[in-house]
Amino acid sequence: MKSDLTFDEYSDFDTDSELLISSEFILDGASTLEDAAEMARNYADYLEDLANEGYELMGTISQGKGHITLEPVEVEESIY
């Protein structure tokens, strides 16, 4: 599994208030369209829970990855 982020980019995360989200593997293991739909709904619920906890995107999602934070931010172009 290759990441587009470098070690330095990971080490810049404030682990108390920032997360990396990725949709890269959310459908892995699905053997039917119904399974895939359920997995996608579960991921959507997870993202909504994060939003309800106060997380915001730090930039646009790119290549299925996004950086989110609890700190207020102005959304800019993707950091990836």
Phi/psi for 18 (5° steps) reads: -125, 150
Q: Is residue 11 predicted with pLDDT exceeding 80?
A: no
pLDDT at residue 37, as a whole number = 98
Is residue 68 classed exposed, middle or buried when 0-12, 13-18 and 19+ CB atoms within 10 A define those classes? buried
The model's pLDDT over 13-69, given as tens digits with 9 standing for 90+, comes to 677 789 999 999 999 999 999 999 999 999 999 999 999 999 999 989 999 999 999
Q: Which residues pair with 68 in a beta bridge?
A: 19, 57
Q: Which residue has the tokens 């829970």?
A: 49
**Residue 33 φ then ψ, to 5°:** -65, -35
